[in-house]
Structure 1
Amino acid sequence: MAVILGSGDFTYEHVNDWHKLPGDAKLIETPGVAVDATDHVYAFSRNPEHPVMVFDPDGNFVRGFGKGVFGNRTHGILIAPDGSVFCVDDGIHTITKWTQDGELLMTIGESGVSTEKWKGAPFNRPTHAAVSKHTGHIYITDGYGNFRVHKYTADGEHVMSWGEPGIDPGQFLRPHNIIVDDDDRVIVADREAHRIQVFDTDGKVTDVWNNIHLPNGMTLGPDGNIYVGELPGMTAEDPTPPGMGHRISILSPKGELLARFGNPDEGTEPGYFIAPHGMGVDSKGNIYVGEVSFTIRGGSMDPPTELRSFSKLIKQS
């Protein structure tokens, strides 16, 4: 039986096994998801053989790349306006730029080398990147060890940085994801502050949206809306009430809540989520959700168990 989520203009069928993995490959988990202009879907997995897995719109595996480049903390992936692929690995402190066929074009940061924690210089466990369609500037959330945003030229030269630990506007508590919209607004998922902050390209706060719980995954849809994956409490020792987190929220460009869905309880069956972390939306409005379900739950099971971490929400007409 089909599992339907949402309502009205935001109604979806939730499907688990829409993709076909190569051979006996596993995802382990899927912290990052992106969709290119031809609706090919890029899963940034924690599989060391195929860190980046590319699927066609029907879920067929097309290619994989990145073996030997990443550590075990692959994190964020982005398809830039020019079609290039940016990958962020917080474990080795790098941002890499690739062609869609897997040719490495540029690396920002030195693999395996971090700056001093909380001191502000890039990078200490960066989490995601975004690229301006107008200027090509690259914006990077230095999310675990700096609580900061860094701005780079298209060629990878540092321009400026902003932010520091805190809860005032312009400060951050683990900035986890970032997008740049068509108006060049820099939109940051400020996860542990339970908010999304909006900046201009010089780092000035222009808006703050608070109607969100641990915003984690985030992407800009072709409709201009912002699709957000929310986490539950991070550990069993510090749980959140039912209905908080492990859900998807859709916000308007003004931050208004348009839709929110996901069972109040966590799970791996269609209709349920554990830890939405990567988000992608194709040209038809279908949503692809990557989850860090092994980190949040499966890794602490006895024995450790890989749980569903990649699913599709098929938009209903």
Structure 2
Amino acid sequence: MFTQWGPAYSRKMLIWLLLTCVIIGEQQFETVADSNTTEAHLWNSDHDYEYVPEWFPSNRTLGSVSAVAFDASGNIVVFHRGSHVWDINSFDQQNRYLPISRGPIVESTLLVVNNQTGTVINEWGSNFFYMPHGLTIDRNDSYWITDVAMHQVFKFNPTVSTTEPALALGRAFQPGSDIHSFCKPTSVAVLDNGDFFVADGYCNGRIMKYSSDGRLVLSWGKNSFVLTISYKLPKGPIPENFFAIPHALTYAADKDILCVADREQGRVQCFNAKDGTFHSMYSHPQIGSRIFSVKYSPMNGGVLYIINGPQFTNGTRPIQGFILSMQSNQIIARFFPNNPQLAFSNPHELAVSENGNQIYVAELSPTVVHKFKRKNVVQRFSQQSQSPLSSEMFPVATDSKTMEENPYTSTLMIVSIVGSLLTTSCLLFCVWRTICPSSTVSGRRPRFSTAVENISLRNLNHSEQELRETV
């Protein structure tokens, strides 16, 4: 390779490459080790969950599950799309729903399920919704629902009527950006006094606050979703108050802030609930570039339960649930199915019980609802003593002790070391072949070349539909 420039120059170049490789390998090792150490010290056993398989009745068929929520009695409510599917033919370029003539979903779209037995104890919502999206249930057991096809927000009081909403906002099947319209609204958050927020949504990229009787109080935010903006974004990081699909909302009552899952920008933005001014922002490289939902718990000074989704960037992250400390902006726990065959694929929404003992995750495809329950102290130490790996493939530790080494990140460390050693060995061999006289054949030093590794990068030219809806 370098022999055309002379043996001396070749030796210098190869030695330089050798030293560079060793330094890079050491830096990679130190980076991984430092990351492991940080997460190990922050891990919190208060948020250690185990997966509960086959909890949902097997005789019930679900469509794409867009949302889950707890009602006032602690039951879990499943909101699904029945036979309707959001695909490339669902909307035109003006965001108008196309298959209106097909009519509403004929199946019951809302199933009330006992969270202990998995029994369906009530169901309703047939022949009304066209493309369900968000579900929030307030302390009075009122259901707040968004339908992206109808471009509307509804409030239902099921004890009064499950067919006539107590409140309806927006114009049916008419997308818009004025104060009386929505365009594919996604989520609702309700305050204790009855005031509520609407995330609007796929097109407008704004948050709207209403009084309890449905009067608009304030609105803020600007759309920054690359597929729908009509202006050029400034260079550098996207500033606060810009949303690339505000996809889910959660209200932190003890802090009086509203937090928004800024889906396509991989971050959670929080705002003062009183006046909508910016409060704080949270993200983490382990979560990746897309966040589909967020829920708040006041435990340990405030934590965010976050679910990511399929990534459209290089260096993708696994699809998991994360628990992030608002105090440190660090991940303190994770949750995901312990069976690879049941792994998250297209999670869309999650619900966390008030005491934090249960988590449910809704999937669009496959059409399932995952359940997790918090481990108690006896279970944690029993499982840890029986196996070096917990059922969730993450080690368990008490709050007073440092978490043992994470087997996933340990593997990364080993791979990093082995990779550096193999590369170093290859370069040493090349140096030996270059320098050692005995390596010559018939008085002529043989040429050598290093094989070029062809790295197949993922095609990033995704269609508009792929970005819009993993929905």
Q: Please state which band the TM-score falls in when normalised by the shorter chain.
A: 0.7 to 0.9
Give the deviation of 1:289 after TM superposition.
Answer: 0.7
Give the deviation of 1:52 after TM superposition.
Answer: 0.9
Give the deviation of 1:110 after TM superposition.
Answer: 2.2
Secondary structure at the counterpart of residue 76 of structure 1? strand
Question: Which residue type is aligned with residue 266 of structure 2?
Answer: H
Question: Which residue type is aligned with residue 187 of structure 1?
Answer: C
Task: Provide the aligned length of Structure 1 versus Structure 2.
Answer: 285
Mapping of residues 57-206 of structure 1, within 5 Å: 57=115, 58-71=117-130, 73-101=131-159, 103=162, 104-116=165-177, 122-133=181-192, 135-166=193-224, 167-182=238-253, 183-201=255-273, 202-206=275-279
Q: Distance in 2 between matches of 1:18 and 1:207?
A: 37
Give the deviation of 1:151 after TM superposition.
Answer: 0.8
Q: Distance in 1 between matches of 2:333 and 2:304?
A: 11
Contact 2:68 2:360 in 1 (8 A): yes
Any unmatched runs of 5+ in structure 2?
A: 1-42, 83-104, 225-237, 377-471
Question: Which residue type is aligned with residue 310 of structure 2?
Answer: P
Mapping of residues 4-15 of structure 1, within 5 Å: 8-15=45-52
Q: Distance in 1 between matches of 2:223 and 2:156?
A: 31
* Aligned alpha-carbon RMSD (Å): 2.4
Contact 1:97 1:107 in 2 (8 A): yes
Q: Distance in 2 between matches of 1:120 and 1:163?
A: 13
TM-score by length of 1: 0.82
Give the deviation of 1:90 after TM superposition.
Answer: 1.4
Which structure has more helix as a fraction of its residues? 2
Give the deviation of 1:239 after TM superposition.
Answer: 6.3
Question: Which residue type is aligned with residue 231 of structure 1?
Answer: G
Greater Rg over alpha carbons, structure = 2
Give the deviation of 1:291 after TM superposition.
Answer: 1.2
Give the deviation of 1:222 after TM superposition.
Answer: 6.7
Question: Which residue type is aligned with residue 217 of structure 1?
Answer: S
The residue aligned with 1:39 is 74
Distance 1:100 1:245, change over 3 A: farther
Distance 1:171 1:69, change over 3 A: same
Secondary structure at the counterpart of residue 264 of structure 2? helix
Identity of aligned residues (%): 28
Q: Distance in 2 between matches of 1:253 and 1:83?
A: 28
Distance 1:189 1:227, change over 3 A: same
Question: Which residue type is aligned with residue 99 of structure 1?
Answer: N
* 2:306 aligned residue (200, 221, 228): 228
Question: Which residue type is aligned with residue 249 of structure 1?
Answer: F
Secondary structure at the counterpart of residue 314 of structure 1? strand
Contact 2:252 2:297 in 1 (8 A): no
Distance 1:16 1:92, change over 3 A: farther
Give the deviation of 1:172 after TM superposition.
Answer: 1.0
Contact 2:246 2:260 in 1 (8 A): yes
Give the deviation of 1:308 after TM superposition.
Answer: 4.3
| 1:162-188 deviation per Cα after TM superposition (whole angstroms, max 9, x unaligned) | 011232111111110111111320101
Question: Which residue type is aligned with residue 59 of structure 1?
Answer: G
TM-score by length of 2: 0.56
Any unmatched runs of 5+ in structure 1?
A: 1-5, 294-306
Q: Distance in 2 between matches of 1:239 and 1:232?
A: 9
Which structure has more strand as a fraction of its residues? 1
| 1:192-224 deviation per Cα after TM superposition (whole angstroms, max 9, x unaligned) | 111110111222111111214311122234745
Secondary structure at the counterpart of residue 372 of structure 2? strand
Secondary structure at the counterpart of residue 9 of structure 1? helix
| 1:232-263 deviation per Cα after TM superposition (whole angstroms, max 9, x unaligned) | 12xxxx46545x15210112344442212437
Question: Which residue type is aligned with residue 30 of structure 1?
Answer: V
Question: Which residue type is aligned with residue 331 of structure 2?
Answer: L
The residue aligned with 2:63 is 28
Q: Distance in 1 between matches of 2:147 and 2:372?
A: 26
Name whichever of 138-147 and 8-17 sits farther off: 8-17
